Amino acid sequence: MEKKKNNNFPKQELTLTSIITGIILACVFSGANAYLGLRVGLTVSASIPAAVISMGIIRVILRRNSVLENNIVQTTGSAGESVAAGAIFTLPALFMWAKEFNQAPPSLFEIFLIALSGGLLGVMFMVPLRRALIVKEKDTLPFPEGKACAEVLLAGEAGGEASKTVFKGLGISALYKFVADGLKLFPSELQKDITAFKGSGVGLSALPALAGVGYICGFKISAYMFSGGLLAWLVIMPLISFFAGDMVIAPAEVAISTMSSSELWSTYIRYIGAGAVAAGGIISLVKSIPLIVSTFAGTMKSFGGKTEVNTDPKDTDLPTWIILASVVVIMLIIWIVPAVPVTIIGALMIVVFGFFFTAVSSRMVGLVGSSNNPVSGMAIATLLISTLILKLTGTSAYEGMTGAIAIGAVICITASIAGDTSQDLKTGNIVGATPLRQQIGEVIGVVAASLVIGLVLYLLNKAWGYGSAELPAPQATLMKLVVEGVMGGNLPWTLVIIGAFIAIAVEIVGIPVLPFCIGLYLPFGMSAGILAGGIVKAIFEKKNVSKEGINKGVLYCSGLIAGEGIVGILLAVTAIIPVAGVTLADVINVSGKLNLGSIGTLVVFMLILISLYRCKKVD
């Protein structure tokens, strides 16, 4: 039986406690995932971490025992991660263009409206699809993350124990990040040029969050990413150095022989990697076309079927008039906001495409899970179409490019939130929650995350700048290159095309294209850090660690990711606070007085990996 009645639990759902806790978690996960995604181009699902943290707060601290309250908290909190995912894939491009063209970056209000528009569209469009996808097709759509989260919520006091694992990982990671990148007692990034192999280099980003990503993704995916890094840093870059020698080859302005491995990466590999990731996203989307067509057709068929009159108060949704009114208001906002230079017809097209991608995204996550949802491919397709339309209608280059990115941001956030909402509603369906109250919680989470994401983007840009080694912003840089390419910008197309054919070759031999291409794009140290976590996961699997032990590792890694993201944002704040002619970051920096060096980095990072290995013990 799909739905489980929970008569042993109090009936509170949308309480003040659940709302406040959910808002806090939405803001935390929005910031943490934004930081993570801008560093490595990946985000992680926040539903299960939000659920276990909620249990730690509501059950352990507040001594309340309500699975329905916890469900509202995870529904509200996980919305923050989804808003962040859509925003960081696109909006940093606006900051990069503002710097290049000497223009003002988007205002906090504009970012808020773009994020809010996309988030609300994702929720509103999902509501009328709920009965078709969650109720009618409960036996054909498994919604893996939604079921997993329901299992955590129904685990009773085990959920309280699980929350301790998350908080433990969060505390250790936060302390590590502050000591390494705040006090700078030892470097968190190690980089070494191999002088005997000119042009090559190796490195290690010894960061707990990267190890956590590697563990969650598993050994195979992290190994594919590392392989992409090997190709870039130990094959392509030495080839460039070997054949070019003292030549000056655009886009570089100095002789190749004088460039370090990091300079070769930023000058050439980023374009090759961007071409590879773009091609990989398009390949993934093309491969999904049959599934997209069939799932959309199936959704519309199921949605259009005869519906019995609903008399169950636990099976209610947001009223239709609210949904329609919200969509109309959002469409007008998209039309009016200066950052989106489209006519009312263009805004209407955004709504139409938004509904299509909502149906596709919601059903696909039900079939294959959120991690396999080709949101980046959808975003690239949207950018190609919208940029071409803006160009053909005579929109100026800068206005057209920023407009296309803003449109892509709305669609990307819409698809991301739709997938998250469908998983949350599946969780609620299993634990006996009220859909209407979940939908209200989702809206609250979207609003909270939309308010925060602009501040996070401004802070990170002010502290380090997008496109830098600290914040490569791989997905946003890719979207930027796609739009510039369509608009006729000055791109090194040879490098981009080389990357595209590398992706095609990788796809032909049967290697998962996106992980490999992301590894090709990222700095070598990041791929190495992710591989470290993947190796720990492989050891777990080889030793036949129990499912409970492996899941405990996932919760611990979720804490590692959240802790580093939170402290990373706090450190960004210290980098912009002036103190006596310097910044607060300079004041707390003790590297000039005490520095453990690279040996300290390796020792402490190894201790982090050992702590991850030891967390498998189930109490």
Contacts of 209 (CB under 8 A, 6+ apart): 36, 39, 173, 560, 561, 563, 564, 565
* Residue 350 · residue 334 · CB < 8 Å: yes
Whose tokens are 């070494």? That residue is: 192
Describe the chain by its helix, strand, coil percentages, rounded to 5: 75, 0, 25
Q: Would you say residue 293 lies in a domain?
A: no
Question: Tell me, what DSSP letter sits at residue 129?
Answer: G
Residues 377 and 454 in one domain: yes
Contacts of 594 (CB under 8 A, 6+ apart): 185
Residues 450 and 587 in one domain: no
Residues 396 and 505 in one domain: no
Question: Tell me, what DSSP letter sits at residue 101?
Answer: T
Residue 150 has pLDDT above 60, yes or no: yes
Question: Which of 125-134, 219-228, 334-343 comes out lowest in average pLDDT?
Answer: 334-343
Instruction: Classify residue 508 as exposed, middle or buried by CB count within 10 Å of its CB (0-12, 13-18, 19+).
Output: exposed
Residue 465 has pLDDT above 80, yes or no: yes
Of the three residues 427, 454, 476, the one that is the final residue of a domain is 476
Q: Would you say residue 105 lies in a domain?
A: yes
Q: Would you say residue 297 lies in a domain?
A: no
What pLDDT is stored for residue 309 in this prediction? Answer: 45
Residues 512 and 554 in one domain: yes
Residues 350 and 420 in one domain: yes
Half-sphere exposure at residue 512, Cβ-oriented, CA atoms within 13 angstroms: 14
Q: Which residues is 204 bridged to in the sheet?
A: 190
* Residue 522 · residue 41 · CB < 8 Å: yes
> 340, 338, 345, 417: which is closest to 378 by C-alpha?
417
Tell me the chain's radius of gyration from C-alpha atoms.
24
Residues 96 and 205 in one domain: no
Q: Which residues is 201 bridged to in the sheet?
A: 193
Determine which helix (DSSP H) or strand (DSSP E) holds 189, and give its type and residue range. strand 189-193
For the segment 562-613, what is each residue's pLDDT rounded down to a tens digit? 788 778 878 887 877 777 777 787 888 887 777 787 888 999 999 999 998 8
* Tokens describing residue 513: 């294209």
Residues 61 and 116 in one domain: yes
Q: What are phi and psi of 582, to 5 degrees?
A: -125, -165
Contacts of 582 (CB under 8 A, 6+ apart): none
* Residue 556 · residue 168 · CB < 8 Å: yes
Q: What percent of the chain has pLDDT over 70?
A: 84
Contacts of 253 (CB under 8 A, 6+ apart): none
* Measured CA angle at 533 (ends 188, 464), to 5 deg: 35
Residues 180 and 102 in one domain: no
Q: Would you say residue 481 lies in a domain?
A: no
The whole-number average pLDDT for the span 238-243 is 92
Residue 425 has pLDDT above 80, yes or no: yes
| Residues across the chain | 619
Instruction: Provide the pLDDT confidence category of residue 532 given band limits of 50, 70 and 90.
Output: very high
Q: Give the predicted TM-score (pTM) of the model.
A: 0.75
Q: Is the dihedral of CA 104, 105, 107, 113 positive or negative?
A: positive
Q: Would you say residue 285 lies in a domain?
A: no
For the segment 51-100, what is each residue's pLDDT rounded down to a tens digit? 777 777 776 666 666 788 888 988 998 888 889 888 988 899 999 999 88
Residues 121 and 27 in one domain: yes
Domain of 143 in residue numbering reads as 16-164+318-476
Residues 438 and 462 in one domain: yes
Residues 132 and 265 in one domain: no
Mean pLDDT, all residues of the chain:
81
3-state DSSP assignment of residue 578? strand
Of the three residues 425, 443, 476, the one that is the final residue of a domain is 476
CA–CA dist 399, 381 (Å, integer): 19
Q: Would you say residue 533 lies in a domain?
A: yes
Q: Would you say residue 198 lies in a domain?
A: yes
The whole-number average pLDDT for the span 527-552 is 87
* Residue 16 · residue 73 · CB < 8 Å: no
Contacts of 148 (CB under 8 A, 6+ apart): 48
Question: Which of 171-180, 240-249, 311-320, 513-522 comes out lowest in average pLDDT?
Answer: 311-320
Of the three residues 454, 476, 498, the one that is the final residue of a domain is 476
Q: Would you say residue 44 lies in a domain?
A: yes
* Tokens describing residue 370: 């959120």
Residues 204 and 328 in one domain: no
Structural domain tally of the chain? 2
